[in-house]
């Protein structure tokens, strides 16, 4: 780790680059880099095998700079409070951010257990929903979250924020609906689609064997390709006036029923 440098001006070229990477999906894809902020998120990213390029810290906020040794990076840079406030996405982080390398999320990189439990989300758009799905996946310790036809960059700061770092602790695979369907069929994983039509009560299904729970958007639900390939459509009975819940809430109910049947193993 190189000795610390210091940046005081918000107009520094590196600061401008960091702001672009933080704010624009295009810049993250082009550079293969993204921003992480906060001690918990950094620790989880390292645990998840992410490589840090640069650590930036503000000693006016970070009271114990000795913790920097815990975050190996090619370069460590001190920044003024004005610079930190420009590059940080949140107001409440502890004075430390990092520039990190993104990972490949192709399906063939996934490592599944012998009896996997997988969550598939088709075309999720809201970073908050994706983050909440990843948080649920971590809480249940499922094998992977697969995102079909992704509409949002998973390295969006709002996704990472709403996942409370679970973006880094959960295996994520991405692909088209067709690619993910083929992947599940090749692995002999049963497909249970959350849908309103031709559905059984979710508690009537046996999830003890290899299973994928598929959820769509609240607005449009799942595409016909998923419904045609479904082993069985499932539904959570609604007892109020509405016919759906937030996708992350629905996913949590379904996943934890599957975990209950598996003895929470």
Q: Using the predicted structure, report yes or no on whether residue 2 has a pLDDT greater than 60.
A: no
Kindly indicate the confidence band of residue 170, based on its pLDDT and cuts at 50, 70 and 90: very high
Q: Using the predicted structure, report yes or no on whether residue 92 has a pLDDT greater than 90.
A: no
pTM: 0.94
Q: Where are the beta strands (DSSP E) in the chain?
A: 5-7, 33-37, 52-57, 73-79, 96-101, 117-122, 144-148, 172-175, 190-194, 199-201, 211-215, 232-235
Kindly indicate the confidence band of residue 45, based on its pLDDT and cuts at 50, 70 and 90: very high
Place of tokens 């996913």: 251
What digits encode the pLDDT tens for the residues 208-258?
A: 999 999 999 888 889 999 999 999 999 999 999 887 789 999 999 999 999
The reported pLDDT for the residue numbered 4 is 61
Mean pLDDT computed over every residue of the chain: 95
Kindly indicate the confidence band of residue 3, based on its pLDDT and cuts at 50, 70 and 90: very low
d(CA 4, CA 2): 6
């Amino acid at each position: 780790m190189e000795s610390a440098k210091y940046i005081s001006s918000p107009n520094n070229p590196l600061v401008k680059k960091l702001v672009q990477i933080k704010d624009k999906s295009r810049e993250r894809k082009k550079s293969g880099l993204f921003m992480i902020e906060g001690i918990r998120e950094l620790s989880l990213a390292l645990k998840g095998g992410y490589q840090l390029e640069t650590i930036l810290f503000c000693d006016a906020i970070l009271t114990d700079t000795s913790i920097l040794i815990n975050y190996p990076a090619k370069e460590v840079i001190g920044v003024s409070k004005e610079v930190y406030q420009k590059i940080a996405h949140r107001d409440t982080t502890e004075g430390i951010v990092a520039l990190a390398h993104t990972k490949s999320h192709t399906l063939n990189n996934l490592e599944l257990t012998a009896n996997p439990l997988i969550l598939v989300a088709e075309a999720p758009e809201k970073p908050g929903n994706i983050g909440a799905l990843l948080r649920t996946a971590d809480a249940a310790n499922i094998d992977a979250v697969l995102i079909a036809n992704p509409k949002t960059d998973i390295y969006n700061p709002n996704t990472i924020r709403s996942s409370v770092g679970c973006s880094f602790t959960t295996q994520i695979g991405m692909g088209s609906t067709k690619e993910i369907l083929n992947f599940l069929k090749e692995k002999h994983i049963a497909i249970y689609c959350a849908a309103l039509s031709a559905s059984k009560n979710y508690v009537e299904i046996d999830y003890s064997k290899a299973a994928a729970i598929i959820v769509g958007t609240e607005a449009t639900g799942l595409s016909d390709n998923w419904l045609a390939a479904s082993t069985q459509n499932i539904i959570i009975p609604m007892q109020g006036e509405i016919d759906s819940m937030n996708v992350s809430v629905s996913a949590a109910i379904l996943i934890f029923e599957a975990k209950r049947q598996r003895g929470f193993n």
